[in-house]
């Protein structure tokens, strides 16, 4: 069974800690992937407009599972959108605004939205993840399609906040960790693995022909779904236990090393 799809998370996985990757090496590997008919998918919690900025030469011909599966774009074609109803949006926002230590980004199709009143350090950090970020007075009457909330909070409050959000927003949204001091609220069942499933159905690709790479809680479903799920060496222990395989560190081009093995049909891809 040959590999037909490779899906990568970005932060802490495909990108190193400086948010960079070896472009020359990847370009060579990508040319070989195309020759072998292997599709390349970027599956990230990040905004679509942010993700395409990393792949200016090939964004038009690859696919993106953006906003943790909330928005799937394939070869520049809109393929799938999750969407919160106005009522669900308000339910979530009304609760989040009662949490004093949480900064909120409402993730819409056109923009990310966050409050002008938040401190500059947070807004600067948010801009590094959201190519399109609008500063608003409040979250009421925003006209967009919303599929995710990104929350920033002190690390010490992470576990308790995850637990309480799971209970309070049960059935409306699911909290997943997406890195230090950050929680993404996603629509139930609308995760990265769901986005990949949509693309696999479109292309007729089985889970046994898929390689995925990730390092965080929002990668769990896609690491489990693919036959070849690789946790990064820098991933937390619980993520490594879920994945069937392990790749090298994100700062040492761990993903590119494994892609090279895929292309050369080396173990475990030679079965």
Active site residues: 9
Q: Where are the alpha helices (DSSP H) in 16-60?
A: 23-35, 48-52
Structure tokens at 119: 């401190």
139 burial via Cβ count (<10 Å: 0-12, 13-18, 19+): buried
Taking alpha carbons only, the member of 267, 247, 230, 182 closest to residue 43 is 230
Outline where DSSP puts E strands in the chain.
5-8, 39-43, 63-66, 71-74, 77-81, 103-108, 112-115, 133-136, 146-152, 174-179, 182-186, 210-214, 228-231, 245-246
CB 235 within 8 A of CB 228: no
Taking alpha carbons only, the member of 259, 196, 253, 245 closest to residue 16 is 253
Q: Rounded distance, CA 250 to CA 13, Å?
A: 5
């Amino acid at each position: 069974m040959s590999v037909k799809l490779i899906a990568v998370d970005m932060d802490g996985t495909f990108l190193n800690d400086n948010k960079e990757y070896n472009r020359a090496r990847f370009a060579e590997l990508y040319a070989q992937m195309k020759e072998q008919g292997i599709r390349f998918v970027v599956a990230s919690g990040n905004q679509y407009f942010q993700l395409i900025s990393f792949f200016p030469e090939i964004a038009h011909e690859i696919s993106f599972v953006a906003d943790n599966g909330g928005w799937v774009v394939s070869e520049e074609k809109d393929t799938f959108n999750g969407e919160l109803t106005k009522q669900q949006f308000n339910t979530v926002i009304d609760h989040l605004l009662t949490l004093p230590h949480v900064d909120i980004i409402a993730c819409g199709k056109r923009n990310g939205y966050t409050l002008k009143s938040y401190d500059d350090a947070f807004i600067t950090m948010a801009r590094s993840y959201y190519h399109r970020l609008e500063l608003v007075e409040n979250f009421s009457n925003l006209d967009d399609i919303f599929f995710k909330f990104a929350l920033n909070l002190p690390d010490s409050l992470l576990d308790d906040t995850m637990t309480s959000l799971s209970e309070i927003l049960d059935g409306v949204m699911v909290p997943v960790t997406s890195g230090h001091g950050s929680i993404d609220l996603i629509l139930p069942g609308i995760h990265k693995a769901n986005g990949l499933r949509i693309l696999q159905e479109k292309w007729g690709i089985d889970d046994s022909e898929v390689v995925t790479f990730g390092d965080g809680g929002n990668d769990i479903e896609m690491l489990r779904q693919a036959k070849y799920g690789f946790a990064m060496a820098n991933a937390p222990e619980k993520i490594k236990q879920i994945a069937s395989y392990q790749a090298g560190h994100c700062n040492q081009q761990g993903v590119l090393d494994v892609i090279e093995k895929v292309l050369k049909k080396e173990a475990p891809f030679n079965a």
